[in-house]
Amino acid sequence: MNTQPKNNLRWWILLTVIIGTFLGRLDQTIVNLALPKIINDFSITVSSAGWIATAYILANAVFVPIWGKLGDTIGRKKVYIIGFSIFILGSVLAGFAWNLSSMIVFRIIQAIAGSADYPTAMAIIAVTFKEGKERAQALGIWSSSFAAATVFGPLLGGPLIDTFGWRSVFLVNLPIGILGIYMALKFINESRSEVKTKFFDWWGAITLGGMLSALVLVLDKGADWGWFSIGSFVCYFSTIVLLGLFIKIEQKVPEPIVDLKFFKIPAFVNALLNNFIVFMGMMGGVFLIPVFAQTFLGYNAAESGYLFMPMAAAMMFAAPLGGYLTGKVQSRYVIFASTLVAAIGIFMFSYLDPKSTALDIIIPLSIMAFGLGFGMAQRTNIIASAVPQSEIGIASSILALVRNISGAFGIAIFATILNNRIKTNMLTINSFSKLNSHTPFDIQKYISLITLKAQIDAYDYVFIVAAIIIFIGSFAALFLKLKKERTDIQVHVE
């Protein structure tokens, strides 16, 4: 029996989950703008304020697979609405936070609830749009909301904070959230796995949560602590031990929170590998763009945000276009081509210098975003299509985990590469330079020029490394070939 919603309703369902996804991602970007005001109001240090973001990242990463499993078990609509409702409550509480401790607690509540969105939203789309081509288009449009939220965060956050104060960035979630909940109640149909769950893998959830906490914590704080510090080694050891325990548990329990048999599906593994490398390279390289624009080009925070508007437009245009090719061109070739285009965009950043114009940033960003968006629907659709429909929530939570962790890896690795490269460049440039003056002014100018040159060259080096990583990641897509007897997998999920 065909339970697929009518055409118009399907697109209303898509719009509903886009609102939830957009609001969750918007909150992540917009809060960073409010940190200076929060630091001032709470009289805390920058380092202490960093825990506001770290606590959110940790809680979000830990609970994604748990929500994915619960969605498949008790109902995706139910979990989506519960998560969305608690997220709104956490937002309001954060808006009334009175000190750092209360803010961290309320941000954790937000993160736990917000992590329900990705796996349930993707599963809702997958079961709503059952025809492969239309599903890919829907997933592409939904995926583009991530880019839109990243861009609109600075654009909306700046005026809100300047006009109404930092608390407004949390309280604004209330009216939008009420609209989103109403639409979810009205439009989304309930769906759950046809496999009845009799056992919830609590030990698997606990060990996975502990492993992810240790991993994300060291990725976020490793540069501050030192990668070879005692704290970092404790995290490394905890990650390895808990990962080993998690695998052993998942191999024995009747209904694992993460079904390890997914990793025996070549298309699933290669899609995850491509996603990991692409997002690591993209996040590791692109997070430096606002820093470069403000440090060397003299832009303020708002102007830096404007640079990303064409990027969002490019991704929002490319995502459904890539989905349209489903069934016309093999997914692996679309993903391969899109990843190469993204690598070219990142590589173009290696030509940035203090004389660069806004176009020198906008054009590479747009090319990179177009490439990334063009293959976004295909990447997501392969994950949704390579597993049984009853386990789409779990599969999508794994994809969310991979993207989150790869982004954290990219930022941590490239920040470290940048700092180390600056030090190396300063020593190298200084060894080939000579100052024929001893006046304090000339000495200061000499040091400033060497530092500037070392920093610019270091940024260029990081962008080249990021481009190479994404270029290599493109070839993982070529191994996405599905078994011949399952060539219809993009259309029939079950």
pLDDT in tens, the chain (494 residues): 444 555 678 888 888 988 888 887 777 777 777 877 888 889 887 667 777 877 787 777 778 777 877 877 788 888 889 999 999 999 999 999 999 889 989 998 998 888 888 778 878 887 888 776 677 778 777 877 776 776 677 677 777 887 888 899 899 889 988 998 999 998 888 876 665 556 677 788 888 888 888 887 887 778 778 888 998 899 999 999 999 998 999 888 887 777 788 888 887 888 888 888 888 877 777 778 877 887 788 887 667 767 877 887 787 788 777 777 767 778 788 888 888 999 999 999 999 888 889 999 999 989 988 888 788 777 777 777 777 766 776 777 777 778 777 877 787 788 788 888 888 888 887 777 776 667 777 677 767 778 778 888 888 898 998 899 888 888 877 776 654 433 333 333 22
φ and ψ at 364, to 5 degrees? -60, -40
CA dist list (Å): 143 to 68, 147, 295, 330: 18, 8, 31, 20
pLDDT of residue 1: 42
Q: Round to whole Å and give the CA distance between 116 and 93.
A: 19
pTM for this model (two decimals) = 0.71
pLDDT of residue 489: 33
Q: Round to whole Å and give the CA distance between 281 and 275.
A: 10
pLDDT of residue 369: 85
Condensed to tens digits (0 to 9), the pLDDT of residues 104-148 reads: 899 989 988 888 887 788 788 878 887 766 777 787 778 777 767
Q: With both helix axes pointing from N to C terminus, report the angle between 288-296 and 358-385 in degrees, rounded to the nearest 10.
A: 170
pLDDT of residue 93: 95
Q: Round to whole Å and give the CA distance between 416 and 359.
A: 28
pLDDT of residue 209: 80
pLDDT of residue 469: 86
For the chain, give every domain's residue range.
1-200, 201-254, 262-494
pLDDT of residue 494: 27
DSSP string for 439-453: -HHHHHHHHHHHHHH
Q: Which residues of 185-208 are buried (b: 16+ CB within 10 A; e: fewer)?
A: eebbeebbbeeebeebbebbbbbb
End-to-end CA, the chain:
14
**419 Cβ contact list (under 8 Å, min separation 6):** 223
CA dihedral of 227, 233, 237, 243, whole degrees rounded to 10: -30
**284 Cβ contact list (under 8 Å, min separation 6):** 409, 410, 411, 413, 414, 462, 466, 469
Task: State which H helix or E strand residue 56 sits in.
Answer: helix 46-74
Domains 1-200 and 262-494 in one fold: yes
Condensed to tens digits (0 to 9), the pLDDT of residues 38-93 reads: 888 898 876 677 778 777 877 777 787 778 778 777 888 888 899 999 999 999 99
- Superfamily for 1-200? MFS general substrate transporter like domains (1.20.1250.20)
pLDDT of residue 485: 31
Domain 262-494 falls under CATH 2.60.40.1190: no
pLDDT of residue 2: 45
